[in-house]
Amino acid sequence: MKVLVAVKRVVDANVKVRVKADESDVELSNVKMSINPFCEIAVEAALQLKESGQASEVIAVSVGPDVCQEQLRTALAMGADRAVLIKTGNDLEPLAIAKLLYTVTQREEPGIVLLGKQSIDGDNNQTGQMLSALMGSAQGTFASQINVVGDWVNVIREVDGGLETRSLRLPAVITADLRLNEPRYASLPNIMKAKKKPLEVIDASDLGVDIAPRLKVIKVSAPPERKAGIRVNSVQELVEKLKNEAGVI
């Protein structure tokens, strides 16, 4: 069985983004970019499926401009076998991304498609679910453990009250939560080897998929600032202030 894993290029998780002065977007020029942390976990999960003999091939796929090749090379350096870039402009909506990924699943027919549970830029948490709907497959979102059993896969999911196990018929779409695994680092020799692995570039306009934006972003503003707080010197002072000044206890 093939495993397809989707990776997204996003602003590095440690960068504190700032809103542009004209409120059109956040400032993205000269900002460090990385693989979305949840996608990294999805790649690791795909590699573990291959290493345990349950997957035959791991294909990394990304949707976006040419520079996303960097993130695909990172996935190849971690151990993915080959990569596909669907070349588009920036900032597609989740439904458009899901439709483009769907064309790749139709061609490759993977047994499992792995994605991160959400990207840390748009914070949408939609693409995996939408892709699963398009494929007509089962979905295992927010996965913290994956066990393939014959034609089915058991997924332990992180839900509001704790954990839950669901059994899904293959092919299935699984989205990775934080605790699924600890992603590996790419070693220098593997980074060198990754440069020789196949990376196919497909132009999105050749796929006949409607990816026009449907949502209009009217503005992007900074969240309201909190006014500066004060330092207290003792627990006594703190409790007194919470009781009398803030009135919250």
Q: How far apart are CA 71 and CA 16, in angstroms?
A: 20
Query: Binders of another protein among 80-99, rule CB under 8 A?
Result: 93-95, 98
Q: Let me know: does 132 contact 145? Beta carbons within 8 Å.
A: no
Considering the complex, state which of residue 82 and residue 179 has its C-beta at the smaller distance from another protein.
179
**Residue 17 within binding range of another protein, rule CB under 8 A:** yes
Residue at token pair 């458009």: 96
- The yes or no reply on residue 126 touching another protein (CB under 8 A) is yes
**Which SS3 state, helix, strand or coil, does residue 204 take?**
helix
Report, in Å, the least distance between residue 78 CB and another protein: 20
**Which CB, 196 or 226, lies closer to another protein?**
226
Instruction: Of 211, 118, 192, give the one whose Cα is nearest residue 158.
Output: 118
Binders in 195-234 for another protein, by CB under 8 A? 214-223, 226, 229-234
**CA atoms of 91 and 215, how far apart (whole Å):** 11
Alpha-helical (H) ranges within 16-137 are: 37-51, 69-78, 94-108, 127-135
Q: Does 242 bind another protein (CB under 8 A)?
A: yes
Name the residue type at position 67. V
Structure tokens at 20: 């542009």
Please list every residue from 144 through 183 that binds another protein, using CB under 8 A.
Answer: 144, 154, 157-169, 177-179
Residues numbered 56-85 forming contacts with another protein, rule: CB under 8 A = none
Segment lying near another protein (by CB under 8 A), choices 16-24, 55-63, 75-83, 189-197: 16-24
> Does residue 14 interact with another protein by CB under 8 A?
yes
Closest contact distance (angstroms) between CB of 117 and another protein is 7
